[in-house]
Chains A and B, each alone.
Chain A
Amino acid sequence: MRALNRDTIVAILLLLFCGLLAWSSLHIRLPGYGTLKPSTWPQIMVGVLTLFSVIYFFQSLSYGPSWPADKGRSSGLAGFFDYYRNPIVCFVIYFVFMLTLPWLGALIGGILLVFALLTVLGGWTPKDIVRHAIYATVSMGFMWSLFTFGLRVILPEGEIFSIR
């Protein structure tokens, strides 16, 4: 048996997730018609996932982590955030884009999304900012036109500017 490692923690989280799903599957409404109950298939799947998670758990304890640690990553929370800065920032920017979508709409929100992503990922010297603003406006303008006029998709209309 080895010490707690990343795989073991993931296995424990998976088992907790299985427990949650198993509990939820007990509350699936049974309509009283149909031969295969709506809960049968999900319960089988939860059972299968639980079985695999248990095997994963014991495997992780017996053999240690099956996946190499991130190269060049410092230990601790600061090291984690530093190493994964770009993906985390991108997820956060996309999240903010989603929150503001009802107000800004797809066009303005999209331009701001691309601009923010490019600036955070590529740098913010005055030259970069101008270039990113142009890239964002042209690319989103093209995409918006393509979907709106080419594919006849009604993209989310922003409350503030009332532009689709």
Chain B
Amino acid sequence: MENLIAAFHEIANIHTLALMSIGAMAGLLAGAIPGFTIAMAVVLTLPFTFSMTASQGVATMIGVFVGGLSGGLMSGILIGIPGTPSSVATTFDGFPMARQGRPGLALGLGVWASFFGGTISAISLIAIAPQLARIGLEFQPWDYFALVFFALTITASLAGENLIKGLISGALGLLIATVGEEDINGVSRFDFGSDYLQEGFAFLPVLIGLFAFSQLMSDVRDRAEAKRSLAQTGDIDIRIEHMKAAKIVLSKWGNLLRSSFIGIFTGILPAAGSSISNILAYDQAKKASKHPEFFGTGIEDGIIAPEAANNATAGGSLIMMMALGIPGDIITAVMLGALLIHDVIPSPSFITESPVLAYSIFIAFFFANFLVLFLQSIALKLFVLVTRVKMYVLAGIILAYCGIGVFALNNIVNDMWTLLIFGVVGYVMRNLGFPLAPMILGVVLGPIAERWLARAVAISTDMTNFITHPWSVFFLTLSLFSMAFGLYQRDLNKKVWPLYYSPVLMLCLSPGMFMMEGWIRPVIGAALVAAGLYGLYRARQKAAVFEPSSGASA
């Protein structure tokens, strides 16, 4: 309780709330502008957070994060182009509703669904994260390493369509993190005799270079597009119909709750972010509707579902970051990096060791949803102004800001060179089809993995510790399946073997559960065995009548 009160004081003061408001406004605008991503907005916020306390810095970034998730609906509804991938499904019904002459109601539904989705998610975060973190206190260095190793294997899931390019990107990220003096012995690696390389690459310039710099270059690549205004919206004078929209959203509470829980669950799943949850929730809302044929024509449920889900995803991904120190998506990876800059290392013991900061994050996330609700109307007016600005003007100014911003990190000019180098690297990789998210995860998690491996080996060089500690066994098993997840996605409905993926996973996870102390976890292990065996039986039945969906053979 004391921690909660202390955290409340950290956040509920004018200074922090003002910073959060600025962050939320920036997020709303960045989310609303097609071509700008939430990750980019969060990354660009980082330089400002250095002069802040850790809780203020993270609170500001949470403001940007929540604002960005809500901002995407503005452009999606008003101009039919989703500001972010997390608002793609909102466009399906939001834009038709706006074209039918009800843009104020469409925006209101989106705003209130986002608010309720975010609030439900915040409550879940406060309820689940501390419970999950208690389990983390049992971890020993072997378990920690296995956990971080599992997080690294998520890169396979982040790879998208091209698995091998995603894996290469992740491995490159891990190697980038090894350049320069290592933390454990202070020995320089891969410096090739250069003082610049000996210092290593600072995290922030790498991040801004890979994400912001390269994204800006992609935005201005087409000369004609670069000279166009962001959107041809003309003069818009819309009032968000708050009262009416709030009543409608609450009256559709079934859809709201279902979509919010889909969002939270998707957020908890590593690598499955809001870009997936909004479409999943829309799809489920359509399936559950008595009139699915109306979806796509400007139906209320079609706006509520994706907007509730995408905001709820934020809470889910924060649960994983806070409780286990695993970034669920690229935005939480950036936040994890920001905490590292403030010498706070998120891990399973994070909530116990830094309770005030942890509760500050909970409260900030809760407040951010209220702030965004309040700021949405103002942001709408600013959005209309910003859409008149040409892309190249924004890109040129933001590029200069990137340079100045990274200098602010350590007052080192070399960081500005790093920005340029990784700007080029990021741009080349984008154009060659390499996903950048795995690379960022590699840069963030690489040093953490090495540190835990060193600690584990320092205690005992006996490598069997990795298969005798139950949590280590559990996470290593998950890692194996995580690595195969990309293949699973590729072959799903095309080959037979994905039918056996989930049952075999359950069976393989059970030994780890049986090795744990107490009686609850072995019982869960037994349940996993039962579910796995039943799953195998069902998979065999399905395999007998299996027909590949698109010409692939079993």
- The CA-CA distance from A35 to B162 in the complex, in Å, is 37
Which residues in A have their C-beta under 8 angstroms from that of B432? 6-7, 10, 67
Closest 6 CB pairs of A and B: A67-B433, A117-B396, A121-B392, A38-B187, A87-B217, A49-B171
Contact (Cβ within 8 A) A117 B400: yes
Query: Which residues of A, 63-113, contact B by the 8 Å Cβ criterion?
Result: 66-67, 70, 83-87, 90-91, 94-95, 97-98, 101-102, 106, 110, 113
Which residues in A have their C-beta under 8 angstroms from that of B423? 91, 94
A19 within 8 A of B: no
As a 0/1 sequence over residues 137 to 164 of chain A, the CB contacts with chain B under 8 angstroms (1 = contact) are 0011001100100011111100000000
A36 shortest CB reach to chain B, Å:
4
B454 shortest CB reach to chain A, Å:
4
B407 within 8 A of A: yes
CB-CB under 8 A for A52 and B171, given A94-B399, A106-B407: yes
22 contacts between A and B (CB under 8 A): A25-B189, A30-B187, A35-B454, A35-B457, A36-B184, A41-B453, A45-B171, A49-B172, A49-B175, A52-B167, A67-B162, A70-B431, A90-B217, A94-B403, A98-B417, A101-B413, A106-B407, A117-B396, A122-B227, A122-B393, A135-B396, A151-B48
- Chain B: CB-nearest residue to A66: B162
Which residues in A have their C-beta under 8 angstroms from that of B408? 147, 151, 153
Which residues in B have their C-beta under 8 angstroms from that of A84? 221
A28 within 8 A of B: yes
Contact (Cβ within 8 A) B217 A86: yes
- The CA-CA distance from A89 to B22 in the complex, in Å, is 33
Choose from B392, B399, B416, B457 the contact partner of A98 (Cβ within 8 Å). Answer: B416
As a 0/1 sequence over residues 114 to 144 of chain A, the CB contacts with chain B under 8 angstroms (1 = contact) are 1001100111000000000001000110011
CB-CB under 8 A for A156 and B413, given A86-B220, A143-B400: yes
Chain A CB within 10 A, most for which of B226, B393, B453: B393
As a 0/1 sequence over residues 5 to 39 of chain A, the CB contacts with chain B under 8 angstroms (1 = contact) are 01100100010000001001100111101111011
As a 0/1 sequence over residues 142 to 182 of chain B, the CB contacts with chain A under 8 angstroms (1 = contact) are 00000000000000000000101101100110110010001
B257 within 8 A of A: no
CB-CB under 8 A for A123 and B227, given A29-B188, A67-B433: yes
B192 within 8 A of A: yes
B461 within 8 A of A: yes
B545 within 8 A of A: no
Choose from A42, A56, A118 the contact partner of B164 (Cβ within 8 Å). Answer: A56
Choose from B396, B411, B449, B454 the contact partner of A153 (Cβ within 8 Å). Answer: B411
- Chain B: CB-nearest residue to A139: B397
Choose from A28, A48, A121, A147 the contact partner of B187 (Cβ within 8 Å). Answer: A28
B13 within 8 A of A: no
Which residues in A have their C-beta under 8 angstroms from that of B220? 86-87, 90, 121
Contact (Cβ within 8 A) B217 A121: no
B385 shortest CB reach to chain A, Å:
15
- The CA-CA distance from A84 to B369 in the complex, in Å, is 41
Which residues in B have their C-beta under 8 angstroms from that of A56? 164-165, 168
Contact (Cβ within 8 A) A121 B450: no
- Chain A: CB-nearest residue to B187: A38
- The CA-CA distance from A56 to B432 in the complex, in Å, is 13
- Chain A: CB-nearest residue to B220: A86
Contact (Cβ within 8 A) A85 B223: yes
Contacts A45-B174, A67-B432 known; list 7 others, CB within 8 Å.
Answer: A34-B185, A66-B162, A122-B390, A122-B393, A151-B51, A153-B408, A155-B407
- The CA-CA distance from A135 to B399 in the complex, in Å, is 14
Contact (Cβ within 8 A) A24 B400: no
Contact (Cβ within 8 A) B178 A45: yes
B404 within 8 A of A: yes
Contact (Cβ within 8 A) B221 A36: no
- Chain B: CB-nearest residue to A107: B404
B281 within 8 A of A: no
Which residues in A have their C-beta under 8 angstroms from that of B446? 45
Contact (Cβ within 8 A) B454 A42: no
Chain B CB within 10 A, most for which of A53, A90, A154: A90
